[in-house]
């Protein structure tokens, strides 16, 4: 059977296949078409940002926080983290700084990608999270101690994306969603284990256990 007829086993594989099949079709755009990226352009930006994140120290099993509205850069940052085997997660735009600090700290994120409108909240939260090393701003002028997306994207041209992709072939992957506790009202990250599809031939003998926090 042609390998292309098989279902992709990872998000990265699905992304690569889509790029190959629809390279010149529009993948994401703003409603006014001020920004419009084809799948091929998306792949180039995702790979360039993945290299930049790797240069900042993002590795497999790390977490990357995202505080962005519905914009093309969200998808670029999300997929770039996934390419490295890291776990991206979104923060509610309405969270106060103390709750942002709690979620980011509990998830162990060292990198956050944010847009300028939400930067003040991130900077206040950062004061409570010493582990948060890098704040990447996708628009505007940023602030002292932050990085512009353009500085990070493409900053590591020698990065071997394909090697990173080959490493993202685990039997399981992790997704982080943020939910609000009905008792305390506090937002908290919830780790969800997603098991890769398997056939009797490639089913693992034992799946690793993962801790779930809430």
Query: Domain coordinates of the chain in residue numbers?
Result: 10-171
CA 38 vs CA 15, 28, 51, 112: distances in Å: 13, 7, 20, 25
Measured distance CA(130)–CA(125) in Å, rounded: 10
| Mean pLDDT of all residues belonging to the chain | 83
Q: How confident is the model at residue 210 (pLDDT cuts 50, 70, 90)?
A: very low
The structure's pTM equals 0.79
Compare 173 and 122 and report the one with higher pLDDT: 122
Q: What is the reported pLDDT for 53?
A: 98
Q: What is the reported pLDDT for 186?
A: 61
| Highest-pLDDT range among 30-34, 122-126, 167-171 | 122-126
Q: What is the reported pLDDT for 211?
A: 45
CA 115 vs CA 12, 26, 64, 70, 192: distances in Å: 25, 23, 14, 11, 26
Percent of the chain having pLDDT more than 70?
A: 76
- Evaluate if residue 160 carries a pLDDT over 70: yes
- Evaluate if residue 1 carries a pLDDT over 60: no
Which fold would CATH assign to domain 10-171?
Rossmann fold (3.40.50)
- Evaluate if residue 18 carries a pLDDT over 60: yes
- Evaluate if residue 122 carries a pLDDT over 70: yes
Q: What is the reported pLDDT for 2?
A: 52
Q: How confident is the model at residue 141 (pLDDT cuts 50, 70, 90)?
A: confident
- Evaluate if residue 193 carries a pLDDT over 90: no
Compare 111 and 12 and report the one with higher pLDDT: 111
Residue 123 Ramachandran class (φ > 0 left, ψ -120 to 50 alpha, else beta): alpha
Measured distance CA(212)–CA(96) in Å, rounded: 24
């Amino acid at each position: 059977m042609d390998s292309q007829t098989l279902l992709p086993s990872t998000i990265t594989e699905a992304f690569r296949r889509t790029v190959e099949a629809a390279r010149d079709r529009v993948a994401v755009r703003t409603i006014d078409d001020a920004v419009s990226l084809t799948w091929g352009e998306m792949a180039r930006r995702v790979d360039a940002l993945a290299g930049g994140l790797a240069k900042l120290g993002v590795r497999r099993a790390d977490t990357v926080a995202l505080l962005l509205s519905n914009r093309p850069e969200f998808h670029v940052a999300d997929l770039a983290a996934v390419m490295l085997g890291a776990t991206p997660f979104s923060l509610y735009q309405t969270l106060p700084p103390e709750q942002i600090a709690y979620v980011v700290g509990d998830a162990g994120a060292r990198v956050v990608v944010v847009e300028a409108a939400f930067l003040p909240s991130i900077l206040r939260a950062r004061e409570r999270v010493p582990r948060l090393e890098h704040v990447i701003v996708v628009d505007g002028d940023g602030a002292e101690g932050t990085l512009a997306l353009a500085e990070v994207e493409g900053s590591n041209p020698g990065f071997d994306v394909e090697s990173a992709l080959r490493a993202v072939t685990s039997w399981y992957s992790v997704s982080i969603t943020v939910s609000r506790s009905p008792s305390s009202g506090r937002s908290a990250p919830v780790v969800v284990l997603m098991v890769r599809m398997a056939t009797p031939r490639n089913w693992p003998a034992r799946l690793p256990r993962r801790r779930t926090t809430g």
